[in-house]
Amino acid sequence: MKVYVIGTCDTKEQELGYACASVREAGAEAVLVDVSTAGTGEADVSVAVVAAFHPGGASAVLRLKARGQAISAMAEALGLFLASRKDIGAVLGLGGGGNTALVTQAMRVLPVGVPKLMLSTMASGQVAPYVGPTDIAMMHSVADIAGLNAITRKVIANAAHAAAGMALHFKAEQVATLPAIGFTMFGVTTPLITTLRAALEKSHECFVFHATGTGGQCFEKLADSSLFSAVFDMTTTEVADYLFGGVLPCTADRFSSFQRHPIPYIGSVGACDMVNFGPRDTVPSQFAARHFHIHNAQVTLMRTTADECRSIGQYIVNRLNLMAGPVRFLLPLKGVSTLDAEGQPFHDPAADMALFEAIRQGWKHDPRRKLLEIDAHINDAVFAEAALAAFREIGETAYATL
C-alpha cells in the first residue's frame, strides 16, 4: 500500500519532494500527485492525469482562470482520481488555505478508515469545514509550508512518518458478522442509549454518534453508505442548534438519508430542550435574558422556549413524513433529557408539550409510520423497552431482528 503525497508542485515542489523522501525513509512507497493548475513541476502523477478525471474532462479544470473555480474543479477531479486507486495506504496533503480546501474535499470522497492526514497552516483554527463527516486528521504546520527550515523539516518529516506508519500498518476492512445499527446520543440521553446498546450488542454491531452537528452528519453519511440495517435516531438536538443559532447545528440535509434509503428508523426528540453555545460570554446578546445552564467552562446550554419547541417539532415531523421506510417515532411525555426531568433545571412541561403537539399535528398517517407516545422520561427503562419493542415490530417485516 502506498502513501499518496498531494500538493501544488509549482509552488511547493521542494517541500513535497522532502515529504516523499521522508515517507520512503520510513519504509513506505510514496506517490507524488501534482494538483497545481500551472502544472509546471515534476510528479509521479501529473496535473493533466488528475484533471482528466473531471466529468467535464481536463479542459474543465485547466482552462479556468478564477482561482476559486479552479480549486473546486481540481478538487472534484482529485476525488474521482483517488476513488479510482486500489493501492492507497494513506493520503498526505500539504499546503495552505487553497490546497487544504482542495485536498480535504477530495479526501472526503474516500471511505472512513482510509488514513487521511492534512498538514496545513489552517489546522489550528476551525477545521470542521475541512474534516466534515470523515476521519481526516489535521496537523498544524506551525510555520508556513514555504521552504525547508528547522521547523518545516521536522514537521513535514513527522507528518510523512505518520502517514507511512498508517500505510505500513493499514488495517484491512473486516467483514461484519453482525448486522449494524446506528445510534445518536448526547450526554443527556446517555442512559437511554446505554440501555439500548446493552440489549442489542450481542446480536448487532452498535455504532454510537455524538449529536454535535458533525456527529449527525457522520451518522447519516454511513446510513447513505448502506452500513446500517436499522437506526435509533433518538437524539435530534442538532435541529435546535440549526434553527436557533447554536454551535452544534445539523445541516439542511438532516434526515434526508432516510428518505433516500428506506431502512428501519426508530427516532425521538432527545435533547430538543436545549441550544448549545460556547463559554457564557460568547452567547449572542439577543439571548441575554434566557434561561441557561452552565454545562462546563466551554459549554453553555440555553433552554428552548415553547415557541422554539413548536418550530423544532414542525421541522422534524415534516422530514419524518418524507421517509420511505418503516418509521417508529417515540414521544417521551415526561421529558427529553436529564436536564428536563422533574426537579431539574430545564424542567418545562409546557415547552415539551408544544414540541409534542407540533409533531402530533403535523404527522401524516401511513401504514409504514407510527407515532408512539410513552408516558415516561426518555431515560426511563420503560421508554427504552418501548423503543426496543418498536424495533422488534419493524423487524417482523424488515431484516432487523433481535
Query: Is 175 a member of any domain?
Result: no
- 209 - beta bridge partners? 184
The string of pLDDT tens digits covering residues 111-138 is 888 999 999 999 988 888 899 888 999 9
**Per-residue pLDDT averaged across 77-103, rounded?**
94
Residues 146, 192, single domain; the answer is no
Q: What is the mean pLDDT of residues 325-335?
A: 97
Q: What integer pLDDT is reported at residue 244 of this predicted model?
A: 97
CA distance 52 to 173: 30
Q: What is the pLDDT of residue 41?
A: 64
Q: In this structure, are 164 and 185 located in the same domain?
A: no
Percent pLDDT > 90 in the chain is 80
Rg (CA), the chain: 24
H or E segment to which residue 341 belongs: none
Same domain, 380 and 253: yes
Mean pLDDT of the chain: 92
Residue 138 shares a structural domain with residue 204 = no
Whether 158 and 188 share a structural domain: no
Q: Are 238 and 218 in contact (CB under 8 A)?
A: no
**pLDDT category of residue 402 using cuts at 50, 70 and 90:** very low
What residue type is 293 in one-letter code? H
Across residues 173-198, what is the average pLDDT?
89
Sign of dihedral through CA atoms 63, 68, 69, 74? positive
* Strand, helix or coil for residue 69: helix
Q: Is residue 85 part of a domain?
A: yes
Under a CB-based contact definition with an 8 Å cutoff, are residues 70 and 64 in contact? yes
**Average pLDDT in the 358-369 region?**
95
Task: Please answer whether residues 220 and 257 qualify as being in contact, where contact means their C-beta atoms are separated by less than 8 angstroms.
Answer: yes
**Side chain identity at residue 6, one-letter code:** I
| Residue 173 within a domain | no
Strand ranges, E, within 83-198 = 88-95, 116-120, 137-140, 180-185
Any domain includes 10: yes
Beta strand 230-233 pairing with 137-140: unpaired
Residues ≥6 apart with Cβ < 8 Å to 214: 128, 131, 132, 133
User: What is the CATH number for 204?
Assistant: 3.40.50.12030
Q: Is residue 309 part of a domain?
A: yes
pLDDT tens digits for 39-59?
A: 666 899 999 999 999 999 988
Q: Is residue 187 part of a domain?
A: yes
φ, ψ of residue 353 to 5 degrees: the values are: -65, -35
Residues 19 and 118 in one domain: yes
Judgement on whether residues 347 and 388 belong to the same structural domain of the protein: yes
Distance CA 317, CA 359 (A): 5
Of the candidates 104, 137, 168, which is a domain's last residue?
168
Q: What is the pLDDT of residue 226?
A: 85
Residues 123 and 158 in one domain: yes
User: Of 129, 144, 168, at which residue does a domain stop?
Assistant: 168
Tell me: pLDDT of 91 over 90: yes
C-alpha grid cell for residue 124? 489550528
- Are residues 246 and 133 both part of a single domain? no
C-alpha cell at 116: 487521511
Structure letter (DSSP) for residue 374: E
Label residue 225 by pLDDT band (50, 70, 90).
confident
Q: Is residue 58 packed enough to be buried (19+ CB in 10 Å), middle (13-18) or exposed (0-12)? A: middle
Which pLDDT score is estimated for 384? 98
What does the pLDDT read at residue 173?
63
* pLDDT tops 70 at residue 176: no
pLDDT tens, 267-292?
999 999 999 999 999 999 999 999 99
Indicate the pTM of the whole model: 0.76
Cα-flanking dihedrals φ and ψ of residue 372, to 5°? -115, 130
Domain for residue 402, yes or no?
A: no
Q: How far apart are the first and last CA of the chain?
A: 39
Number of domains, the chain: 2
Range of the domain at 94: 2-168
336 sits in which H/E element: none
Distance CA 293, CA 341 (A): 14
Single residue among 168, 192, 227 that ends a domain in this structure? 168
Q: Residue 315 has which C-alpha cell?
A: 421541522
Rounded CA gap, 167 and 30, in Å?
Answer: 10
Query: Around Cβ 171, how many Cβ atoms within 10 Å?
Result: 8
Q: Where do we find the cell 490546497? A: 99
Residue 399, pLDDT above cutoff 70: no
CB of 144 closer than 8 Å to CB of 156? no
pLDDT interval class at 401 (50, 70, 90): very low
- CATH label of the domain that carries residue 107: 3.40.50.12020
Which of 51-65, 324-338, 359-373 has the weakest average pLDDT?
51-65
Statement to judge: residues 164 and 222 lie in one domain? no
Q: Does residue 400 belong to any structural domain of this protein?
A: no
Residues 204 and 334 in one domain: yes
97 vs 234: CA distance, rounded Å: 37
Same domain (yes/no): 157, 260: no
Grid coordinates representing 303 are 433552554
- Cell readout for 71 is 480549486
